[in-house]
C-alpha cells in the first residue's frame, strides 16, 4: 500500500557538542505538496533537512525518526541512505557556484548523477542530461554541455544545480534558500522555474527561505520556526491573512512594504537567543509583546487549532484589530 | 538630475566615468570595462538618495567614487560646491571626516583585535576632534545613539551579534559628525527583525542630525523606506530617477517596471508579473544602443541603434528610454 505521506519527521532532535539546537520537529510531507520553512538565521530550518538526510558533520548528534515511504532512514547504513539521498530526495543550496565542482565540465557533472541514480550510460545519459538542461532553461545546451561552471552566471549555475537535482527523478526537492544569492530579476526567474517544474513532474517541494513573499508564491503550507522549534504551521492563507503566533506576526510587520504609505518599520525587539542559553519557558517570550508570567516558566506545546493550523502559544494574537496597539507597544520597546 | 536651485547640493557628481581593465585569463588581452558610465547626480543636505540595481550595475563603484576612494577617469565631483581633492592628499583626508562609508559586512569592516570603544573612538583621534580625556564620554554618547549599551564598550566584535556589529560600524561613521553617509547594502546581511531595527535607527539619526545619505541596495523594499529619491542603475548608467513615492508606484522605464515586479509580494501570484528573460549583461560586452534592449519586452529598432539619453519626463522625474515620452530637452548636457 502506498501511503499519501512521502516523508515523516518525528521528534527530530539535533545537538552540536552537547548543545541542543533542534528540539523535536514533527513534519509530514505529503506527495506533491510544497511546504515552506521560514524563520531567521539560526532557527534550525536548514539543520532540520541536513539532519534528516544525514548530511551533518560527525559532531552532531541526531535523534528521532525520519521515514521515507514508511522506511526509517535515520541511523541506517550509508548504502540505504544513498538510495534515498539524491534519488528520492534531492537538495539544492543557496550558493550554486560552491556546490558545483569547478574543475569538471558541467555535462559530466549532470551525467554523473544520471549514472548513479538511473544507471544510464553513454549516449543515453548525454541525451537525458541535455534534456534536463533544456528543461531548466539553459539555452543552446549542446554547446554548453562542455563548459565549466565558471563560464555560467549565478542564475544559470542555480538552474544547473536544479537540473542535477532532477536527474534522479526525486519525489521531494529540498531547496535551501535557492534564490537568496541571486539578483532580483533572476530570483523571479528561478521561483517561476521551481513552480513550473513542480507542476510538470509532481514532485513535492520543501522551500527553505527567510523571504515570506517568495514562500507564499511557491508553497501551499508553511512552518514558522524559532529557536529550533516549529511555532506555527498552517496554510499560506491562514498564516498570511491571520497570523496567530506573535513571532509570525512580528516577521510580517518587520518587512518594509513596496506599496501603501511609507511608515516606520515595526522591528521585533532584541535578538534570537543563542542555543546555549535559551530562556525558560517559551523561547520567544523575552521578545514578545504578548508575553505573560506563564510564558516565562512553561513552554507551550504545538497544538492544533480550530481552523486546522498548529500553534505553540499561550497568548496568541487574536485577530487583526489589536494590531495597532501591538504595533505601538513594539515601537516603544524597539527604539531601545 | 542636475538642479541649480537656490539651495546648493551637498554633493554633486558630473559625468562620472570609471573604467576597469579586465583580462580574460592570465595572458588574455585587457579589455576596458566601463563600470560607471557618465553618471550625473546630486544630493541635497539632509536628503537621502537611494541607488538600486543588480550586481554589475556599478552602484557600489559609484558609492566609492562619490567619496573619492575610487578615482574617476572623467567627470568631477563637488562637495559643498568645491571640487573633490585627490585621493590620499591631506585635503582629502580632512574632508573624509565629513563623509563616511558604511559597508555591508560589519565583521570585515571592524578590527577584531580592538574593542568596540577603541574603534568608535578612532575617527575622533585621527581627525583630532575630541581631546583624549573627553573621548570616553563621546564614545558612550555615540553608543547610546545607535542603541548599544555603554557597558558593552570593552567587548570585541566577535562577542556581538550581526546587528550590533553594524551598529558599531554606524557609530564609528557618525563619530566625526559627517554631513554625508554613503551606505552600501548596510542591512542586507541582517535578518528581517534586526534589519527593521537598523533601518529605523538610521532614519532617526538622519532626522536628528540632518545627515545626507546615499543608500545603495538591491532591496527595493528597504530603499523605498529609506530614500526620498531613487536612482535606478543599469550597466553603469542611471536609467530612471524619481521620488521614491512615485518610482515604485508608477515606474516608467521597462527595467524599473521589471525590478518592481520581481519583488515577491505575499499573496500576489507570480503569474501576471513581468519576469525578465535573460541575464544581466556583462559590462565588458555592452549591447549596442540601449543596454537594456536584449532583455526589454518592448524593444524596437531605435533601441538597438541608439543610446537613449536621460531626459526629464515629468517634474522631478527623469528616464532614459526611447519609448517613454519626454517633456523637453535631454537634461544631461
If you search the block for the grid coordinates 528521532, which residue do you land on? A64
DSSP B47: -
- Give pLDDT, residue B276: 83
Dihedral of alpha carbons B278, B280, B285, B287, sign:
positive
ipTM above 0.85, yes or no: no
d(C-alpha B139, C-alpha B120), whole Å? 6
Let me know: does A145 contact A133? Beta carbons within 8 Å: yes
Length of chain B equals 333
Rg of chain A on CA atoms, in Å = 21
Cβ-defined contact of A257 to B194 (cutoff 8 Å):
no
Q: Which domains are seen in chain B, by residue range?
A: 11-98+178-319 (3.40.50.300)
DSSP A27: E
Cβ-defined contact of A210 to B192 (cutoff 8 Å):
yes
Cβ-defined contact of B276 to A254 (cutoff 8 Å):
no
Let me know: does B278 contact B295? Beta carbons within 8 Å: yes
**Which of B163, B195, B218 is facing A183, going by the closest CB pair?**
B218
Dihedral of alpha carbons B44, B48, B53, B54, sign:
positive
Burial of B114 (0-12, 13-18, 19+ CB in 10 A): middle
- Give pLDDT, residue B3: 41
Nearest chain A alpha carbon to B267 = A216
Let me know: does A84 contact A68? Beta carbons within 8 Å: yes
**3-state SS, residue A21:** strand
- Give pLDDT, residue B1: 44
Region B89-99: mean pLDDT is 93
Does B215 score more than 50 pLDDT?
A: yes
Domain boundaries, chain A: 5-219, 243-335
Cα separation of the two ends of chain B: 10
- Give pLDDT, residue A336: 39
Let me know: does A283 contact A229? Beta carbons within 8 Å: yes
Nearest chain B alpha carbon to A270 = B194
Helix axes B192-209, B162-174, angle to 10 degrees: 10
Cβ-defined contact of B279 to A256 (cutoff 8 Å):
no
CA dihedral B194, B196, B200, B206 (to 10 degrees): 80
d(C-alpha A129, C-alpha A106), whole Å? 10
Let me know: does A238 contact A309? Beta carbons within 8 Å: yes
Q: Over chain B, what is the mean pLDDT?
A: 88
- Residues of chain B with Cβ-Cβ distance to A268 below 8 Å are 193, 196
A96 closest CA partner among A164, A20, A16: A164
- Residues of chain A with Cβ-Cβ distance to B192 below 8 Å are 40, 210, 251, 254-255
Size of interface A-B (CB pairs under 8 A): 128
- The fold adopted by the segment(s) A5-219 is Rossmann fold (3.40.50)
- Residues of chain B with Cβ-Cβ distance to A190 below 8 Å are none
Let me know: does A175 contact A35? Beta carbons within 8 Å: no
pLDDT in 10s for each residue of chain A, 336 residues: 567 899 999 999 999 999 999 999 999 999 999 999 999 888 999 999 999 999 999 899 999 999 999 999 998 998 999 889 989 999 998 888 788 999 999 999 999 999 999 999 999 999 999 999 999 999 889 999 999 999 888 889 999 999 999 999 999 999 999 988 888 888 888 999 999 999 999 999 999 998 888 999 999 999 999 999 999 999 999 999 999 999 999 999 998 888 877 888 999 998 888 899 899 999 999 999 999 999 999 999 999 999 999 999 999 997 654 455 555 544 444 443
Nearest CA distance, B123 vs chain A (angstrom): 25
The per-residue pLDDT for range B267-312, each reduced to its tens digit, is 666 666 777 887 777 777 888 999 999 999 999 999 999 999 999 9
Residue B270 contacts A where some CB pair is shorter than 8 Å: yes
Using CA atoms, how far residue B199 sits from A254, A273, B140, B223, B228, in Å, is 10, 21, 21, 10, 14
Cβ-defined contact of A184 to B265 (cutoff 8 Å):
no
d(C-alpha A8, C-alpha A72), whole Å? 9
Region B152-176: mean pLDDT is 92
Length of chain A equals 336
A211: Cα separation from own chain's centroid: 10
- Residues of chain B with Cβ-Cβ distance to A212 below 8 Å are 266
- Beta strand residue intervals within chain B, DSSP E: 11-23, 30-43, 48-52, 74-79, 82-83, 99-102, 180-184, 212-217, 229-234, 237-243, 311-314, 317-319
- Substitution target in B58, B160, B188, B196 with the highest count of A β-carbons within 10 Å is B196
Output B61-65 pairs: Cβ under 8 A, ≥24 positions apart.
Answer: B61/B18, B61/B35, B61/B36, B62/B16, B62/B36, B62/B216, B62/B233, B63/B101, B63/B182, B63/B184, B63/B214, B63/B216, B64/B101, B64/B182, B65/B13, B65/B16, B65/B18, B65/B36
Amino acid at each position: 500500500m502506498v501511503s499519501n505521506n512521502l516523508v515523516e519527521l518525528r521528534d527530530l532532535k539535533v545537538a552540536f557538542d552537547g548543545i541542543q539546537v533542534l528540539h523535536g520537529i514533527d513534519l509530514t510531507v505529503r506527495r506533491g505538496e510544497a511546504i515552506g520553512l521560514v524563520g531567521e538565521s539560526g532557527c534550525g530550518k536548514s539543520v532540520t533537512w541536513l539532519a534528516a538526510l544525514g548530511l551533518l558533520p560527525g559532531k552532531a548528534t541526531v535523534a528521532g525518526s525520519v521515514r521515507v515511504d514508511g522506511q526509517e532512514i535515520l541511523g541506517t547504513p550509508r548504502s540505504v541512505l544513498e538510495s534515498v539521498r539524491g534519488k528520492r530526495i534531492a537538495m539544492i543550496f543557496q550558493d550554486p557556484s560552491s556546490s558545483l565542482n569547478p574543475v569538471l565540465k558541467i555535462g559530466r557533472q549532470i551525467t554523473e548523477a544520471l549514472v548513479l541514480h538511473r544507471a544510464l550510460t553513454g549516449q543515453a545519459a548525454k541525451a537525458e542530461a541535455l534534456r534536463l538542461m533544456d528543461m531548466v532553461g539553459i539555452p543552446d545546451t549542446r554547446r554548453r554541455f562542455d563548459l565549466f561552471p565558471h563560464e555560467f552566471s549565478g542564475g544559470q549555475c542555480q538552474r544547473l544545480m536544479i537540473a542535477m537535482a532532477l536527474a534522479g527523478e526525486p519525489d521531494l526537492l529540498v531547496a535551501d534558500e535557492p534564490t537568496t544569492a541571486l539578483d532580483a530579476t533572476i530570483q523571479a526567474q528561478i521561483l517561476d522555474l521551481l513552480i513550473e517544474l513542480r507542476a510538470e513532474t509532481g514532485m513535492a517541494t520543501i522551500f527553505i527561505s527567510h523571504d515570506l513573499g517568495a514562500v507564499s508564491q511557491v508553497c501551499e503550507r508553511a512552518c514558522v520556526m524559532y529557536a529550533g522549534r516549529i511555532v506555527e504551521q498552517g496554510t499560506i492563507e491562514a498564516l498570511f491573512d491571520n497570523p496567530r503566533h506573535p513571532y509570525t506576526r512580528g516577521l510580517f510587520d518587520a518587512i518594509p512594504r513596496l506599496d501603501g504609505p511609507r511608515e516606520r518599520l515595526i522591528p521585533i525587539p532584541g535578538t534570537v537567543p543563542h542555543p546555549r542559553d535559551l530562556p525558560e519557558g517559551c523561547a520567544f517570550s523575552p521578545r514578545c509583546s504578548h508575553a505573560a508570567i506563564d510564558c516565562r516558566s512553561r513552554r507551550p506545546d504545538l497544538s492544533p487549532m480550530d481552523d486546522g493550523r498548529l500553534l505553540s502559544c499561550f497568548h496568541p494574537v487574536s485577530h487583526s484589530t489589536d494590531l495597532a496597539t501591538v504595533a505601538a507597544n513594539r515601537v516603544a520597546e524597539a527604539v531601545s | 538630475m542636475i538642479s541649480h536651485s537656490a539651495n546648493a547640493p551637498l554633493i554633486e557628481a558630473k559625468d562620472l566615468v570609471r573604467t576597469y581593465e579586465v583580462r580574460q585569463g592570465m595572458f588574455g588581452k585587457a579589455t576596458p570595462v566601463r563600470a560607471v558610465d557618465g553618471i550625473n547626480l546630486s544630493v541635497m543636505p539632509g536628503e537621502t538618495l537611494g541607488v538600486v540595481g543588480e550586481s554589475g550595475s556599478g552602484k557600489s563603484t559609484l558609492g566609492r567614487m562619490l567619496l573619492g576612494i575610487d578615482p574617476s577617469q572623467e567627470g568631477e565631483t563637488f562637495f559643498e560646491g568645491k571640487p573633490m581633492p585627490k585621493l590620499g592628499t591631506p585635503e582629502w583626508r580632512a574632508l573624509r571626516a565629513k563623509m563616511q562609508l558604511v559597508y555591508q559586512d560589519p565583521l570585515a569592516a571592524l578590527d577584531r583585535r580592538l574593542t568596540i570603544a577603541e574603534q568608535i573612538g578612532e575617527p575622533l583621534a585621527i581627525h583630532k576632534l575630541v581631546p583624549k580625556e573627553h573621548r570616553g564620554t563621546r564614545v558612550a554618547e555615540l553608543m547610546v545613539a545607535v542603541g548599544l549599551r555603554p557597558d558593552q564598550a570593552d567587548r570585541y566584535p566577535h562577542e556581538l551579534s550581526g546587528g550590533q556589529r553594524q551598529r558599531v560600524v554606524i557609530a564609528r561613521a557618525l563619530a566625526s559628525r559627517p554631513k554625508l553617509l554613503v551606505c552600501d547594502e548596510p542591512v542586507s546581511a541582517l535578518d528581517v527583525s534586526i534589519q527593521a531595527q537598523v533601518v529605523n535607527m538610521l532614519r532617526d539619526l538622519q532626522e536628528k542630525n540632518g545627515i545626507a545619505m546615499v543608500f545603495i541596495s538591491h532591496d527595493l523594499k528597504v530603499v523605498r523606506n529609506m530614500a526620498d529619491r531613487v536612482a535606478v542603475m543599469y550597466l553603469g548608467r542611471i536609467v530612471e530617477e524619481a521620488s521614491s513615492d512615485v518610482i515604485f508606484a508608477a515606474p516608467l522605464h521597462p527595467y524599473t517596471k521589471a525590478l518592481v515586479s520581481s519583488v515577491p509580494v505575499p499573496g500576489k501570484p507570480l503569474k501576471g508579473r513581468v519576469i525578465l528573460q535573460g541575464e544581466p549583461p556583462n559590462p565588458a560586452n555592452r549591447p549596442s544602443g540601449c543596454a537594456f534592449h536584449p532583455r526589454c519586452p518592448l524593444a524596437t529598432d531605435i533601441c538597438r541603434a541608439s543610446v537613449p539619453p536621460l531626459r526629464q519626463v515629468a517634474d522631478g522625474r527623469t528616464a532614459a528610454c526611447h519609448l517613454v515620452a519626454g517633456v523637453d530637452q535631454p537634461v544631461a548636457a
